[in-house]
Amino acid sequence: MDDKYILLYATDNIEWVRKFTTTARAMATAARLPLEMAYVGKSNKRETVRRVIATINVEKLSYCWQDITLIWYFWTRLESMLLSKIQLNRTDDQDITMKQIMKLLSYEKDGSWAMLCRGSHILTNGHGSSMMQTLYDFDLWKEHIPARGFDLSFKDYHDKLHITTHSCSRFEFPIAGGRLPERMRCSVCHRYMQVEKYIAFLCCHDQTGLTEPY
């Protein structure tokens, strides 16, 4: 199981799913890797997510949760874990788990994202565009595999590409979230982030936000 590669991804764009899964399979075949893919949905746009899941099932594009409520719990759990660490004042800059949670929650607000794991070990994660490009550019970085191995070669290429093509993290905390951090480091550039205070009003049935289970 530790040798199996797992590619988790999220989006609300079915055309992106088709291209991403096709590109990932092509890379896995060329690299002779055991790869499994799983769609974990989005925290919003539930009707769109249902349609994406239906298409994934019909076209057999990858694995996905059949119960859409599990998707809501997945994202709610991530937000709860981050808020719990903040409220307990455990926002250690060296906390690897917190960094990964921060990245996913930040990427999720921007659109598509993907995470590559080997067994239970996270290799890297990033925006859908940089992960897609890394898969597509396999011929450009595969020459490093004999010396550095697949894991490091993939991670290095992706992380350099990600830094040059994407902005840093952004977070929006609920006003009822309790204690909020006085400062937080960006999970991408590691600088302290600027705090912007504002109140946003969201309608609870417009398919945005984690207001209730699907």
Mean pLDDT of 8-16: 93
To the nearest whole percent, how much of the chain has pLDDT over 90?
41
Q: Which amino acid is at 188?
A: V
Rounded average pLDDT over 152-167: 84
Mean pLDDT of 92-105: 72
CA distance 55 to 187: 33
pLDDT over 80 at 201, yes or no: no
Question: Is 213 a residue whose pLDDT tops 90?
Answer: no
167 pLDDT above the threshold of 60:
no
Which range has the top average pLDDT, 47-61, 154-168, 197-211? 47-61
The predicted model gives 74-78 an average pLDDT of 84
Predicted pLDDT of residue 203: 46
Backbone angles phi, psi at 16, to 5 degrees: -65, -40
- From CA 121, how far away is CA 156, in angstroms rounded? 16
Whether residue 154 contacts residue 141, with contact meaning beta carbons closer than 8 Å, is answered with yes
Residue 43 CB contacts under 8 Å (≥ 6 apart), including other chains: 71, 72, 75, 76, 108, 209, 210
Closest listed residue to residue 37, CA positions, set 151, 117, 127:
117
Question: 67-71, 167-171, 178-182, 203-207: which has the highest mean pLDDT?
Answer: 67-71
Strands 5-10, 113-118: pairing kind = antiparallel
- pLDDT > 70: what percent of the chain? 71
Instruction: For residue range 112-130, list pLDDT tens digits in order.
Output: 899 999 988 889 988 899 9
- Give the pLDDT band (50/70/90) at residue 204: very low
Tokens of 163: 């830094």
CB atoms within 10 A of CB 121: 10
Instruction: Pull the structure tokens for residue 90.
Output: 């455990």
User: Kind of pairing, strands 35-39 and 63-64?
Assistant: parallel
Mean pLDDT of the chain: 79
> What pTM value is reported for the model?
0.75
CA angle 206, 77, 57 (to 5 degrees): 65
What token pair was written down for 213? 């289970």
C-alpha angle 34/37/38, rounded to 5°? 150
